[in-house]
Amino acid sequence: MDTLANSYVPLPAEALDADAMRAAIVRKLTYDLGKSQAGARDRDWFMATALAVRDRIVDRWLSVTRAAYEGGQKQVYYLSLEFLIGRLLRDGVTNLGLTELVSEALAPLGVDFEKVRQAEPDAALGNGGLGRLAACFMESLASLAIPAFGYGIRYEHGLFRQIIRDGWQQEYPEDWLNFGNPWEYARPEIAYDIGFGGAVEAVIVSEARMRHVWHPAETVQAVAYDTPVVGWRGQHVNTLRLWSARAADPLKLDAFNYGDHVGALADRVRQESICKVLYPSDESPAGQELRLKQEYFFASAALQDLVRRHLRVYGDLKSLPDKVSIQLNDTHPAIAVAELMRICLDLHGIAWDEAWEITQGTVSYTNHTLLPEALESWAVPLMERLLPRHMQIIYLINAFHLDRVRAKHPGDTRLLSSVSLIEEDHGRRVRMGHLAFVGSHKVNGVSALHSDLLKRTVFKDFHALEPGKVVNKTNGITFRRWLQQCNPGLTGLLTEAIGPAFLDNAEALKDLAPLAGDAAFQQKFLAVKRQNKEALATLIRSQLDIRVDPHAMFDVQIKRIHEYKRQLLNVLETIALYDAIRSQPTRDWVPRVKIFAGKAAASYHRAKQIIKLAHDVARVINSDPTVRNLLKVVFLPNYNVSLAEMIVPAADLSEQISTAGMEASGTGNMKLGLNGALTIGTLDGANVEMLEHVGAENIFIFGMTTEEVEARRREGVQGSAAIAASSRLSEVLEAVRSGVFSPDDRNRYRDLVDALCGSDYFMVAADFDAYFESQRQVATRWADQAAWQRSAILNTAHMGWFSSDRTIRDYAQEIWQVPVRR
Ligand code: 26V
């Protein structure tokens, strides 16, 4: 089935005319915003431009949405507690093909599109990789014309704003909605009641049948806010539907009339707090009740919405698995399994077995981490109090599930307790990963290694019971944002060199490979990179008042700060290099700028300490005259999608140095590789597949493998062993420990160094020498610029497979069974 044929709506001629666009923008400014041109600021022009662009999306949006129902197409629903979207203006404008037109429309008004673009606040409704993946997937779903909805929460405050004071991270609230959001349509009429607490009544329907009625103690309304998501070339538009909480009873009028003005509002404030802030997902176990409320709130709203839509067209729920696919982005929406069962059983009177078939046939689950401390579970008493009917259903799911296991493996109590949905050891808890697993027809990991590890570790017993259920879907990134939009220079060069086919088919980037050794092309490739580096250097200068040389190697590590990602390893290597430069200042050192950016979870002290160390080291190195311009250290504050879009095109070296076995995939690795950075990395996550695609001579792989890490941990080898064996590392750690970089507080890093001497859980000491050595090979390659440029070009050429279009096609084919154009 060609999903495009019946949905194509050409842009009206007026939409392609710069004068008409200008008039539209001015109309928006005047009549929607009530501003004069003279008084308009960049932010106002942004709003007016976004509203005018939005108008050009709506007709298609409405028509393709209608066509999907009428054509009986299967719908994909992507349930995610996070969507790390960033800005949307350039996304919409690029995909509609209006980039030049909008610039032309604005120029005669004396308005610079670039400034307008930058006035848009980032929608930071996510923590990191998981949320950004959801945003890339939404864009690819639309580009592939797969009818889909994203469901999530419209947080009033996204991820905190990071401010660095005296080297320490501080968190401030993010107010992305302060000046309004031009992309969203509020749908106050699309609202669902979400219940919490209360009791369950068992009603006898007949001798053979019992019906359960949940009487919640409290209900909150979920109200829809829709954002159109326009695909590449503007042919298809999907919906991102985010839910906001609205108190069912906004004001207790009697209390108000008695003069209790605050009390009259208290319930409302409490209920509406559900969508106030994004939880930092990489913070220790979410024991918080509010987090569970968020999870149920959005999962229930999504299910009520999609069930209502399905019933309107098909009349009953039997056909749900044929017409609907629900993808759970991690376990955060896993309660959807119990909620869909409840809807089938209690609201539609469907018998258990059929309800289970419908649920399993519809739902699938993506796992994004193996870290045991990151696997979600909820205390049974909390679940019983907040979601009493769901708890009953989970017990029943578990009972049937364990019956099946017992029938296959009688007497195997170890197996039973391992696969039980209820953990009995540390107080009774519901294991959300287990619930998601049993409620799904497919479970996937996000890179080949990660999926294999899923089968070997967390889901080992499940995998043995149901081989074939765990599959791999290696992550990808949308090339529209991460190449075309963020790197127009490179996009232009590529188009000139290999033609525009790669814009529609990422694999066509391969055509670049024959040019990798071409000296003239290398010069052009280098020139683009240089220009991007100059832009970043300007940003660094304006933000930090540090001058960096665009001719130096830009060595970049940008991601959440976490011990397993090993920014500490990078900082320690920086110190070692500093020592080496100081002891031989006249050697032919390769000039480098070490660039860091990333946020630490607010309560993660060790991660904040690492940020502080990076700043302490930066201060010492950047002010040491013997180092001159050979080494600079820069920490750019408040890492977000927009900052990534500045750094990624300017990077020469991409640091992907996580402890093997700990990074499920990584996606920054792909973004940086696509933009011509060489990777230095471990055999972890999708680095493994990057190695296969770019070839061993174009990537720097070092360090212990997953198996070696496991063995070393099992044997309990201490970090002190590695330190004793390395005079270089010993010196570095002695300097850190003794306060060379923290003269104001000489004990600041004592515990940090002690942890490395002890268990060295993340193998920082164990991998140090291998990493240092690999970095010297990087420098050697850099010294041969022709060889470096060749590798850089081949990285871009071989990154096509990492397009999220490929990932989404794989999901469509193997998990969702929806047709997709090739
Ligand atoms: C959660 C937690 C919670 C407890 C403390 C430690 C910790 C560390 C990490 C996490 C992240 C959980 C989920 C997540 O964000 N995974 C990321 O998903 C990306 C998209 O699949 C993937 O590229 C990253 O490798 C993976 O970390």
Q: Which of 74, 342, 671, 798 is catalytic?
A: 671
Strand order in the sheet with 148-153: 185-196, 218-230, 237-247, 148-153, 75-79, 324-329, 363-366, 443-445, 470-472
For helices 42-70 and 18-27, give the axis angle rounded to 10 degrees: 110
163/222 same-domain check: yes
463/605 same-domain check: no
Pairwise CA distance, residues 778 & 677, whole Å? 12
Residue 129 within a domain: yes
349/256 same-domain check: yes
Tokens of 415: 């197996």
Say what the pLDDT of residue 3 is: 41
Tokens of 799: 């990154």
Say what the pLDDT of residue 284 is: 57
The CB of 444 under 6 Å from ligand 1? The reply is no
Q: How far is the CA of 128 from the centre of ligand 1 (A)?
A: 8
Say which DSSP state 206 is in.
E
Nearest to 485 by CA among 43, 95, 105: 95
Give the global pTM. Answer: 0.97
Residue 165 within a domain: yes
Q: How far is the CA of 369 from the centre of ligand 1 (A)?
A: 5
Tokens of 463: 């995998």
Q: Is 706 helix (H, G, I), strand (E, B) or coil?
A: helix
Nearest atom, ligand 1, residue 667 CA: 23
Q: Is 325 helix (H, G, I), strand (E, B) or coil?
A: strand
**Is 560 among the catalytic positions?**
yes
Nearest to 606 by CA among 561, 545, 659, 672: 561
Q: How far is the CA of 363 from the centre of ligand 1 (A)?
A: 21
520/504 same-domain check: yes
Pairwise CA distance, residues 401 & 461, whole Å? 13
Residue 447 within a domain: yes
Say which DSSP state 500 is in.
G
Say what the pLDDT of residue 7 is: 46
Pairwise CA distance, residues 482 & 302, whole Å? 29
Using the CB atoms, write b or e for 374-400: b if 16+ within 10 Å.
bbbbbbbebbbebbbbbbbbbeebbee
Say what the pLDDT of residue 465 is: 98
Concatenate the DSSP letters of all residues of 630-663 into one string: SEEEEEESS--HHHHHHHGGG-SEEEE-PPTT--
Nearest CA residue ID for atom 6, ligand 1: 282
**Is 434 among the catalytic positions?**
no
**73 phi and psi angles, rounded to 5 deg:** -75, 150
Q: Which of 565, 566, 632, 693 is catalytic?
A: 565
The CB of 607 under 6 Å from ligand 1? The reply is no
Q: Quick one: CA dihedral 54, 60, 64, 66, positive or negative? A: positive
Q: What are the angstrom distances between the C-alpha of 446 and each of 61, 80, 232, 665?
A: 30, 15, 24, 6
Site of tokens 């992907």:
656
CA dihedral 452, 456, 461, 462 (to 10 degrees): -10
Say what the pLDDT of residue 1 is: 36
431/537 same-domain check: no
Tell me the mean pLDDT per 10 residues along the chain, length 822.
Answer: 46 80 98 97 98 96 92 96 98 96 97 98 97 98 98 97 98 96 98 98 90 97 98 97 91 78 81 90 67 97 98 96 98 98 98 98 97 90 97 98 98 98 93 98 98 97 98 98 98 98 98 98 98 98 98 98 98 98 96 98 96 98 95 98 98 99 98 98 98 98 98 98 98 98 98 97 98 98 98 98 98 97 70
Pairwise CA distance, residues 772 & 758, whole Å? 21
- Number of folded domains in the chain? 3
Pairwise CA distance, residues 626 & 630, whole Å? 9
Nearest CA residue ID for atom 7, ligand 1: 282
465/536 same-domain check: no
Pairwise CA distance, residues 236 & 705, whole Å? 43
Q: Which of 667, 679, 796, 807 is catalytic?
A: 667
Residue 578 within a domain: yes
The residue length of the chain stands at 822
Task: Name residue 778's amino acid.
Answer: V
What is the phi-psi region of residue 373: left when phi exceeds 0, alpha when psi lies from -120 to 50, beta otherwise?
alpha
Q: Which of 291, 559, 566, 612 is catalytic?
A: 559
Site of tokens 């996204």:
158
Q: Which of 560, 562, 608, 612 is catalytic?
A: 560
What is the H or E stretch that residue 393 is in?
helix 388-408
Nearest to 788 by CA among 525, 464, 413, 612: 525
Please name the residues in contact with 203: beta carbons below 8 A apart, sequence gap of 6 or more: 210, 211, 212, 213
The CB of 373 under 6 Å from ligand 1? The reply is yes
**Is 667 among the catalytic positions?**
yes
192/313 same-domain check: yes
Pairwise CA distance, residues 724 & 790, whole Å? 39
Using the CB atoms, write b or e for 405-414: b if 16+ within 10 Å.
beeebeeeee
- By residue range, what is the domain housing residue 544? 487-701+771-802
Say what the pLDDT of residue 16 is: 78
Say what the pLDDT of residue 285 is: 55
106/243 same-domain check: no
- Cβ(447)–Cβ(474) below 8 Å: yes
Strands 631-636 vs 592-597: parallel, antiparallel or unpaired: parallel
Q: Is 324 helix (H, G, I), strand (E, B) or coil?
A: strand
Say what the pLDDT of residue 4 is: 40
Say what the pLDDT of residue 185 is: 98
- Cβ(478)–Cβ(85) below 8 Å: no
The CB of 729 under 6 Å from ligand 1? The reply is no
Concatenate the DSSP letters of all residues of 506-573 into one string: GGGGGGGGGGTT-HHHHHHHHHHHHHHHHHHHHHHHHHH-----TTSEEEEEES---GGGTHHHHHHH
160/188 same-domain check: yes
Q: How many helices and strands (H and E) does the chain possess?
A: 34, 24
Say what the pLDDT of residue 287 is: 53
Nearest to 161 by CA among 144, 147, 178: 178
Say what the pLDDT of residue 5 is: 40
Nearest CA residue ID for atom 23, ligand 1: 666
By most ligand atoms within 8 Å of CB, the mutation choice from 80, 136, 331, 369 for ligand 1 is: 369
Nearest CA residue ID for atom 12, ligand 1: 369
Say which DSSP state 141 is in.
H
218/276 same-domain check: yes
**Is 594 among the catalytic positions?**
no
Site of tokens 């913070």:
283
Residue 765 within a domain: no
Tokens of 49: 């431009």
Give pairs for 39-42: CB < 8 Å, separation 24+. 41/119, 42/115, 42/116, 42/118, 42/119
CATH code of the domain containing 361: 3.40.50.2000
Nearest to 78 by CA among 821, 808, 822, 613: 808
CA dihedral 732, 703, 128, 643 (to 10 degrees): 60
Tokens of 366: 């993506």
Please name the residues in contact with 129: beta carbons below 8 A apart, sequence gap of 6 or more: 368, 559, 560, 665, 666, 667, 668
Site of tokens 């806010």:
225
227/308 same-domain check: yes
Pairwise CA distance, residues 78 & 327, whole Å? 5
For helices 89-96 and 42-70, give the axis angle rounded to 10 degrees: 60
Q: What are the angstrom distances between the C-alpha of 220 and each of 177, 195, 196, 300, 384?
A: 22, 6, 8, 11, 18
108/78 same-domain check: no
- Cβ(49)–Cβ(26) below 8 Å: no
Q: How far is the CA of 368 from the centre of ligand 1 (A)?
A: 6
**395 phi and psi angles, rounded to 5 deg:** -60, -40
Residue 167 within a domain: yes
Residue 725 within a domain: no
By most ligand atoms within 8 Å of CB, the mutation choice from 283, 366, 368 for ligand 1 is: 368
Q: How far is the CA of 154 from the centre of ligand 1 (A)?
A: 21
What is the H or E stretch that residue 770 is in?
helix 764-783
Residue 313 within a domain: yes
Q: What are the angstrom distances between the C-alpha of 588 and each of 528, 570, 622?
A: 26, 21, 19
Task: Name residue 628's amino acid.
Answer: R
